[in-house]
Amino acid sequence: MKISRNEVEHVADLARLELSGEEVDQFTGQLDAILSYIDKLNELDTADVEPTAHVIHVGNVIREDRVCDSIPLKETLSNAPETDEGFFKVPKII
Amino acid sequence: MTMKLHPLTLHQASEMLQKGEMTSEELCRAVLRRIEAVEPKIHSYVTVMEKDESAPDSGNAPSNDSLLAGIPLAVKDNIVTLGIRTTCASRILSNFVPPYDATVISRLKEKGAVLLGKTNLDEFAMGSSTETSAVGTTRNPWNLACIPGGSSGGSAAAVAADACIAALGSDTGGSIRQPAAHCGVVGLKPTYGRVSRFGLVAFASSLDQIGPLTKDVEDAALLLQVIAGYDPKDSTSLDVPVPDYRAALTGELSGKTVGVPKEYFVEGMQPEVEAAVREALAFLEKEGATIVEVSLPHTEYAVATYYILATAEASSNLARYDGVKYGYRAEGAEELIEMYRKTRAEGFGKEVKRRIMLGTYALSSGYYDAYYRKAQQVRTLIRQDFDRAFEKCDVLVTPTSPTTAFRIGEKVDDPLQMYLSDILTLAVNLAGIPGISIPCGFDDSGLPIGLQVLGKHFEEATILNVAYAYEQRTDWHKMRPAL
């Protein structure tokens, strides 16, 4: 097995996904099959190969630090599930 | 007036508008009537604008010289539109109304195009069939029991069914080209960095590109012309001059060398697909192109590489859906982490969760080098394969997909089989090169077959012209499904 049920539960926790027992079972089997397939990559010796993050090289992109128009507060908050006096409101943190 | 307007191509409609042979209002009405007639069968839209909303804004009349002025277009529902709900076909964004336009939308609006509606897709563009959409599967206009391809399946089906004049989609691993092939239309994925991604809801940021889905190659050139170009709001868009794509459509093939990658005629390929593509190659040769065999030796590693890199980037990009600033929030959670976990559990569908899981695993402590770094290294090898192949030829010609459209439900329980169906398109995104799919025939059951033409970075004009040369001498693109 490439991945265990416990590891699937750990990864779900990292990803902040609540999974049902049935989903954990299903993902364990499917991720195991996918990761076994991905093992193919180990057939290749890549010791001296540079990794590619972006195909076309772009250096750092810097812009002037200028004040521009931004989206007004009311519109910014208009999609929020819950707001209070101009702030996003969330359930208690601690 | 007795002439049907909805079947018009963009360039035909544009010409008629400019000559005053019809008005934009007549054209928009005709297309909206067509949508009403075919939508119950194909379900290609998530949102259709009301008649008065989609009418061109007369107070802000675009200049008459714009070829797009008054033309009704459809846009994939992962491209944000000011004031128009943008859902990504996901429950988690089901109520999201963007407060800004994507750069491609601003550019279309500047040219006077009319936004007809937002098209269906696999949830967050993750899929090859539109079956992962939270609002239901789009059906292939050529056979309603089949998938239209994906993830831009709604855009491809809408174009094929004349439910828009042309459309925009996005392509991360084939999501424009594969549905274009399955629906018998033209689909172009530009070079990475050619078109701004600002306002495209991010799936895999190093692979995503927006591009046109159209009724013919000339329309693809016209739409690309408007959306291409540097955008300071997308730091990965490139400041490279945009040529005149329509002027590049000469139809001239002599002097062109077409490479045929031997690895792209894969085992298990549908015989009719291979036959149609071989026939197209013979045709290109007869018309003056030189055909050479080339090799892309790392092709068999592309699927594995793609599914590590794309899911890793996706798991990071989709961390933003947390039920705080916008989108769906689960009810009943008493503290923050519980709210995140429930919101994401209820808001995302199965395929999105599966990819977040795979990507999170690949990036997690202890596995990063084995999976993510390894895949980035293999990406280098795949990119170098294309560089070497293009030393011997101007374009590569391949099938777009190893089969024609499969039946709805056929691959839904086997994610690996679904991923493998993208084998001929996704290396192109890993290499960042442009690709176009055009119709090149039909299989025995009447489903369209796609021909893929690939070019060097920023050589969209070259692939458009090779595609145009083929299209000018064939009639496949004129075929329309009986709906």
| pLDDT, greater one: A62 or B60 | A62
Q: Is the pLDDT reported for residue B26 higher than 70?
A: yes
Name the catalytic one among B175, B196, B237, B401.
B175
The two beta strands, B290-294 and B72-76, are: unpaired
Neighbouring C-beta atoms of residue B388, cutoff 10 Å:
12
CA distance B18 to A74: 41
B155 catalytically annotated: no
B374 to A55: CB separation less than 8 angstroms, yes or no: no
How confident is the model at residue A58, as a pLDDT? 74
The two beta strands, B395-399 and B257-261, are: parallel
Q: How far is B97 from chain A (nearest CA, A)?
A: 7
pLDDT per residue as tens digits for the range B75-88: 999 999 999 999 99
B97 to A42: CB separation less than 8 angstroms, yes or no: no
| Lateral strand order in the sheet of B114-119 | B45-48, B114-119, B72-76, B166-171, B209-214, B186-189, B435-442, B448-455, B395-399, B257-261, B290-294
Place of tokens 């489903």: B447
Q: What residue ranges do the domains of chain A occupy?
A: 1-44
Averaged confidence pLDDT in chain A: 94
Closest to B452 measured CA to CA, from B307, B296, B243, B230: B296
Closest to A41 measured CA to CA, from B115, B364, B259, B430: B430
**Residues with Cβ < 8 Å from A45, sequence gap 6 or more?**
none
pLDDT per residue as tens digits for the range B435-482: 999 999 999 999 999 999 999 999 999 999 999 999 999 999 999 999
Q: What is the mean pLDDT of residues B295-324?
A: 97
Q: Yes or no: say if B356 and A28 are a contact pair by the CB < 8 Å rule.
A: no
Q: What proportion of chain B, given as a percentage, has pLDDT over 70?
A: 96
DSSP B115: E
B381 to A19: CB separation less than 8 angstroms, yes or no: no
B76 catalytically annotated: yes
How confident is the model at residue B48, as a pLDDT? 97
> Quick one: pLDDT band at residue B63, thresholds 50, 70, 90?
low
CA distance B400 to B11: 25
CB under 8 A, 24+ apart: contacts of B102-106: B102/B196, B102/B198, B102/B199, B102/B200, B102/B210, B103/B196, B103/B198, B103/B199, B103/B231, B103/B233, B103/B234, B104/B79, B104/B168, B104/B195, B104/B196, B104/B199, B104/B200, B104/B210, B104/B227, B105/B75, B105/B79, B105/B80, B105/B81, B105/B199
CATH class in words for A1-44: mainly alpha
How confident is the model at residue B412, as a pLDDT? 86
Residue B473: strand, helix, or coil: coil
In chain A, residues with a C-beta closer than 8 Å to the C-beta of B361 are 3, 7, 11, 31, 35
How confident is the model at residue B58, as a pLDDT? 44
pLDDT per residue as tens digits for the range B101-144: 999 999 999 999 999 999 999 999 999 999 999 999 999 999 99
ipTM: 0.96
> Quick one: pLDDT band at residue B59, thresholds 50, 70, 90?
very low
Q: What is the mean pLDDT of residues B388-399?
A: 98
Q: What is the mean pLDDT of residues B198-227?
A: 98
> Quick one: pLDDT band at residue B419, thresholds 50, 70, 90?
confident
B315 catalytically annotated: no
Q: What proportion of chain B, given as a percentage, has pLDDT over 90?
A: 92
Q: Max alpha carbon distance in chain A (Å)? A: 58
